[in-house]
Amino acid sequence: MARMNAAVVTSFAEPPHYRQFGVPRPRSADEELVDVLAVGLHPRVRTGAAGAHYTSTGTLPMIPGIDAVGQRPDGRRVYFVAADDVIGTMADKALAATRRSIVLPDEADAAKVAAAMNPAMSSWVALRRRVRLEPGQSVLVLGATGNAGAMAVQVAKLLGAGRVVGAGRDPGRLRALASAGADDVVQLTGDSEATGRALAAAAAESDIVVDYLWGTPAQQAITVLLTARSDRSRALNWIQIGAVAGPTMELPSVALRSANVRLQGSGQGAVPAEDYLAELPALIDEINAGTIAVKANTMPLADVEQAWNRPEVPGERTVLMP
Ligand SMILES: NC(=O)c1ccc[n+]([C@@H]2O[C@H](COP(=O)([O-])OP(=O)(O)OC[C@H]3O[C@@H](n4cnc5c(N)ncnc54)[C@H](OP(=O)(O)O)[C@@H]3O)[C@@H](O)[C@H]2O)c1
């Protein structure tokens, strides 16, 4: 069997190790073997490599990586989403299915695309396919200081939002959001009363909440927004995308009866794969044009253990290059 270099997880308690692994074989006519050029180390990749994602089957060894930029045998470069959770993309070669791939324009920067697609598509797809953003609407991004949240602020503006408020913890990143297009920012602090007042003042009239936090901050925010808005019968669409602050929250039933709140999630599973694919070309154009800011921190795939153990730099996404 042909061999390749790969990041290989042999224990869910350890980072992946750089070692030899068998080259995967296409399983259908729709799949082909591509040379991997750049792979993003997204939070979802870490969760999968720790065996902690809800789709995890516990199978080891595994190769992490949920997406990548690769080069087809015909020379064309594609961005693709892996079809398999066990044999992922952090390797010299990976399987790319045509129905999960999009050909990149010549000018596309592979590292930037690998860094930005996962975080950027979360809000792009949510605001186009889950709850279509109407021009002029108000959007609150909960968790706007992460990669995906900061991009959500820019994406909401690009898609026509009239007002975008970013809420998060890190004061430096909040300041940066203002220059990235946020109309207002709210710092989420340990003082829940002060945070609640600030959220009510800045975002009570939101039409859509793009939520990367869940857990206690989302629980507090939903009550604050519903109580403070001037017309509770006006729809508040809450789109659940990430859960960095906790996997569960308590929602009082009265919140659903006393206001027009519509709660739904956005992610693979909630949105069909063909809808994702249809949105990707426009998103790639925005990333290429620089309208969605992205900072790729590239490292050789051979340094995967070091990449895993190093704290992420806020606002940057580690990209591994085979
Ligand atoms: N459903 C989808 O399609 C989809 C796609 C992409 C990502 N996601 C999910 O979205 C989430 C964010 O992804 P990302 O790429 O933006 O990750 P990231 O760049 O690592 O950012 C995570 C941010 O979360 C903030 N945070 C962590 N714990 C917090 C807490 N208790 N309260 C408030 N803020 C907290 C941190 O900001 P501070 O510095 O301010 O603390 C951090 O910058 C992840 O859960 C990811 O899996 C979902």
Atom of ligand 1 nearest to the CA of 150: 16
pLDDT of residue 182: 97
Distance 44 CA to ligand 1 centre (A): 10
Pocket test residue of 55, 187, 212, 271 for ligand 1, highest count of atoms within 8 A of CB: 212
Atom of ligand 1 nearest to the CA of 149: 16
pLDDT in tens, 163-214: 999 999 999 999 999 888 999 999 999 999 999 999 999 999 999 999 999 9
Give the residue ranges of the chain where pLDDT is below 70: none
Which of 96-101's residues contact partners 24+ apart within 8 Å by CB, and which partners?
A: 96/31, 96/32, 96/33, 96/34, 96/70, 96/72, 97/28, 97/30, 97/31, 98/30, 98/31, 98/32, 99/30, 99/273, 99/274, 99/277, 100/273, 100/277
pLDDT of residue 55: 81
Which of 96-102's residues contact partners 24+ apart within 8 Å by CB, and which partners?
A: 96/31, 96/32, 96/33, 96/34, 96/70, 96/72, 97/28, 97/30, 97/31, 98/30, 98/31, 98/32, 99/30, 99/273, 99/274, 99/277, 100/273, 100/277, 102/78, 102/277, 102/280, 102/281, 102/284
Grouping H, G, I as helix, E, B as strand and the rest as coil, residue 170 is coil
pLDDT in tens, 96-110: 999 899 999 999 999
The pTM is what?
0.95
Distance 29 CA to ligand 1 centre (A): 36
pLDDT of residue 194: 97
Both tokens of 229, joined, read: 């808005």
Residues with C-beta less than 6 Å from any ligand 1 atom: 42-44, 118-119, 122, 143, 145-149, 168-170, 173, 188, 212-213, 217, 241-245, 266-267, 312, 314
Both tokens of 273, joined, read: 């794969």
**What are 233's strand-pairing partners?**
none
What values do phi and psi take at 304, rounded to 5? -60, -35
CB 78 within 8 A of CB 69: yes
Distance 213 CA to ligand 1 centre (A): 7
Distance between CA atoms of 14 and 309, rounded to whole angstroms?
10
